[in-house]
Amino acid sequence: MKAVNVKNLIFGKGMPKICIPIVEKEQTEIERMARYILSEPADLVEWRVDCFQDAENPEKVQNVLKSLREILGPMPILFTFRTKKEGGSCEITREEYRRLLLLAASTKYADLLDVELSAGEVLREIVEKVHRYGGKVILSHHDFEKTPSVSEMKSYLGRMEVLGGDLVKLAVMPDTEEDVFKLLEVSYEWKRSGKQPAVTMAMGRMGAISRMAGEFFGSAITFGTAGRASAPGQIPCRNLKEILNGYHEFSAGKENLYLIGFMGAGKTTVAGRLKERRKIGMVEMDQEIQK
């Protein structure tokens, strides 16, 4: 997986970066939440502009962005207007969507802009101009009704790559545990492809593992809460950080893994694969006992 640098925050390397969404309606509450986030173990902040009561007022949107930049300092800001079709709070026309995102890009207060794959004919222009202004683009697709097939999910990621996303995002709703496994399979294969960093998640309680195991399966960002959640299944930021640290320490080889089971269960085979993949040592207890 390629790495993307945003204000010295590297996406696609190491632990998934924790992003806390701000979903408050009023500017004073948005600013209060931004200050509170500074005390949380977050790496970046997402401003969900569709939740802002004055989202259709360009001057007020620009004022909030400027204020967030002043409060958050070097912490990266992700600017997101989520349309109702993809789980957002309100709906606007494609032209209004275009103007809003280009306004945010032109201010240079936002470091990352979320652009929905469903934006249609305005998508290419938005991506091109965001890049021209020096910003990065997360191209995204959300399905709050189902988990598409593996081939469909791969197709979405491929299209977002071709359209110029610096990061590509896929969020789906699982009905079964198998749906979660499908999402993780797609994420892992994308990670091994060496392409742009992906942000993937299975929403809801069933998909919680996808928000925690990104270092193994390839999701570069995970969304945690420090207040209201912006999507189903988000985990409190502090809990999420503790879990991610645990995964990271294990993957770095700071803990041993013990495989136990009946004869012929495949312990040696699995251990060999882990040794190769993780570049770690392996002890075969049968051999040690014989010695």
**How many other C-beta atoms are found inside a 10 Å radius of the C-beta of residue 242?**
11
Q: Which residues pair with 11 in a beta bridge?
A: 4
Query: Residue 136 in contact with residue 167, Cβ under 8 Å?
Result: yes
DSSP-based three-state secondary structure for 38: coil
Catalytic residue at 169?
Answer: yes
Q: Enumerate residues 6+ apart whose C-beta is below 8 A from 43.
A: 9, 17, 18, 19, 75, 76
The residue with tokens 């970046």 is: 44
Structure tokens belonging to residue 172: 């789906």
Residue in 17, 136, 141, 142 annotated catalytic? 142
| Helices (H), ranges, the chain | 27-37, 58-72, 94-107, 123-132, 150-162, 177-193, 208-212, 214-217, 237-251, 267-278, 285-290
State how far the Cα of 74 lies from the Cα of 125, in Å rounded to an integer: 28
Catalytic residue (choose from 136, 141, 169, 241): 169
Q: Residue 268: which residues within 8 A CB-CB, separation 6 or more?
A: 284
Reply yes or no on whether 142 is catalytic. Answer: yes
Which residues are marked as active site?
142, 169
